[in-house]
Amino acid sequence: MSPHTSVLLEEHSWPEVETALEGGTRTAIVAVGSVEQHGPHLPLIMDTLAGDELARRIAEELGDALAAPTIRPGCSGHHMEFPGTITIPPETLMDLIRSYCRSLDEHGFEHIVLVPTHGGNFAPVNTAAPEIAHEIDANVIALANLDEHMALMNEGLRDADVEYEEPVIHAGAAETAIVLAVDEGLVRTDELEVGREGEISTARLLSEGFKTITRNGVLGDPREATPEAGEAILQKVTTAYVERIEAERDAAK
């Protein structure tokens, strides 16, 4: 690691990045977030906030990685009925991902890890990752299994003794818990209200839009969230992703 101890790429000078690369820091973590509605109680930046936090934690846990700036916005067309949401086409997001990977590869990073934190970004990440992997020398690792990601978040809730399951996660207990853990002041606690609960078709959400399912943009009950649950979720996802990254880096040797 360079003399500057932060794992955030953007906080380093170019000589510090060069020194880090020469010293064995060869993995870059790239979160892929969004700017979109998360109910009346959470900020539009929730998915990017989660991406920033996960990328930082993963890089710190690995010990030989840097966290690149989170990509934002993302593919959020299904939230556009809610003011403030900013969306880009999947092709644009994939071009951004390719540009990130090409840039990091050119500088000498040997492993580039893509971590989507917004559901609409998982498919574009899974499409772009193998394509760019054929074009560059770096090993591209896509941690983009949406079902697995949501399962880890629900496990985190249970680890913190929150007995609440969210079939599809958006602005409910899990995501509210994450924001409480990262920056409690960003949660409008006087605006917490239950949204649509129970089984929901993700295909319908994506094709018809969130407002056809939930008037307030919330799935689940954010009132179940606690800061402790947010910390448990972040740790659960970080641990699982670090194990996966280490296994894939070893396999690429």
Q: What is the Cα–Cα distance from 1 to 62, expressed in whole angstroms?
A: 12
pLDDT score at 1 = 46
Look up the CATH number of domain 9-246: 3.40.50.10310
DSSP assignment string, 147-173: HHHHHHHHHHHHHTT-----SS-BSSH
Q: For residue range 76-111, list pLDDT tens digits in order.
A: 999 999 999 999 999 999 999 999 999 999 999 999
Look-up: residue for tokens 């409480």? 180
In the chain, the amino acid numbered 164 is Y
Residue 202 confidence (pLDDT) above 90: no
* Long-range contact pairs involving 1-4 (C-beta distance under 8 Å, separation at least 24): 1/25, 1/64
Q: For residue range 65-74, list pLDDT tens digits in order.
A: 999 999 999 9
Residue 223's Cβ-count burial label (10 Å; 0-12, 13-18, 19+) is middle
Q: Is residue 4 very low, low, confident or very high in pLDDT (cuts 50, 70, 90)?
A: low
Instruction: For the chain, give every domain's residue range.
Output: 9-246
Cβ(114)–Cβ(97) below 8 Å: yes
Residue 8's Cβ-count burial label (10 Å; 0-12, 13-18, 19+) is middle
Q: For residue range 31-78, list pLDDT tens digits in order.
A: 999 999 999 999 999 999 999 999 999 999 999 999 999 999 999 999
Q: Facing residues of 115 across strands? A: 31
Q: Is residue 3 very low, low, confident or very high in pLDDT (cuts 50, 70, 90)?
A: very low
Cβ(74)–Cβ(47) below 8 Å: yes
Q: Token pair for residue 21?
A: 């690369």
pLDDT score at 148 = 97
CA dihedral 159, 163, 165, 171 (to 10 degrees): -80
Q: Facing residues of 42 across strands? A: 38
pLDDT score at 217 = 97
pTM for the full model?
0.96
Q: For residue range 148-189, list pLDDT tens digits in order.
A: 999 999 999 999 999 999 999 999 999 999 999 999 999 999
* The total number of residues written for the chain in this structure: 253
